[in-house]
Amino acid sequence: MGSAYALSRGDIFTPLIRNLGAIFVRGGKPRDVFAQYMAKATGPTRGRDLNVHFGWLSEEGSMPSVISMLGDMVSVLTGALLAERMKKRQTAALTWIGDGGVSTGAFHEGFNLACALKVPLVVIVENNKYAYSTPTYKQTANTRFVDRAKAYGCHGAEVDGNDVLAVYEVTRQALERARRGGGPSLIEADTMRMRGHAEHDDMKYVPASLLEEWSRKDPILRYETKLLERGMATPEELSAITAEVDAALAADVAAAEASPMPDPASGLDGVYGDRPTASPVPPLVADQARRGTS
């Protein structure tokens, strides 16, 4: 979330599935996300896709939708920035990738292209130690991902991924450098995935001691402590914010639950831009003018 706050108006970003917070920072609504997860007609993809797989295009700052194939967004954002460059705009872009996602060919091709063309792209590698069940040392022989910046010929930086203010600052600097023509940055954020790959995953493959160690570095607790220590908030104020957010989320869940499921017939439209619906499946035996027996 800290990194998303570093974006400016008009900047482009694509969150991955672990970057839900960034969507909210950039104007996304929890009720849309709930409706999307619940496969409702009112979700941003009208029940066609799941998870955070949705996007928008706007002058405020576009969010080209992520897809499941990791690494693809790096070249997509590179192309978006080329377009902005042709329009002579100072737009920058930000996306995230995991310690697993950087193993894809798409990531390499995309980031190498971004660096070769020197577009203002910032990529944050969230080193959260596991790609599903695979630890980083089985993902790569060099688990220090920031080293790759040198290989790509771009700026590299490391940050404590559980320090929200440090993440904000390192991203802000990288975006500023990018906008000045300094090219892409690769930022490695050191963090830990505290839950399974998805809800079905009990994460038995992660040593308990590791989770214990990282639970002491919880970024929300750390930020709250910092605010309290500096006298920038009182415990009562923080509790009030939490209660307010809880109530808003509960209302959004209820609204999403009350929303309709999509009409099955609606699933045919929007495949192409110049034809209203895909052809429905034809009747089993099509009407044919009989030629008679011959």
**Does residue 117 belong to the site contacting other proteins (CB under 8 A)?**
yes
Q: Helices 235-258 and 219-229: crossing angle, nearest 10°? A: 140
Number of residues that bind other proteins (CB under 8 A): 52
**Does residue 293 belong to the site contacting other proteins (CB under 8 A)?**
no
**Does residue 274 belong to the site contacting other proteins (CB under 8 A)?**
yes
> Which listed residue (11, 32, 84, 190) binds other proteins by CB under 8 A?
84
Closest CB to other proteins among 154 and 192? Answer: 154
**Does residue 216 belong to the site contacting other proteins (CB under 8 A)?**
no
**Does residue 186 belong to the site contacting other proteins (CB under 8 A)?**
no
**Does residue 281 belong to the site contacting other proteins (CB under 8 A)?**
no
> Which listed residue (23, 52, 74, 178) binds other proteins by CB under 8 A?
74
Closest CB to other proteins among 18 and 53? Answer: 53
Site string for other proteins, 87-116 (x = CB under 8 A): x-----------------xx--xx-xx--x
> Which listed residue (10, 21, 79, 182) binds other proteins by CB under 8 A?
79
**Does residue 82 belong to the site contacting other proteins (CB under 8 A)?**
yes
- Contact residues toward other proteins (CB under 8 A) are 12, 44-45, 48-49, 53-57, 62, 64-65, 67-69, 72, 74-87, 105-106, 109-110, 112-113, 116-117, 270-275, 278, 282, 286, 288-291
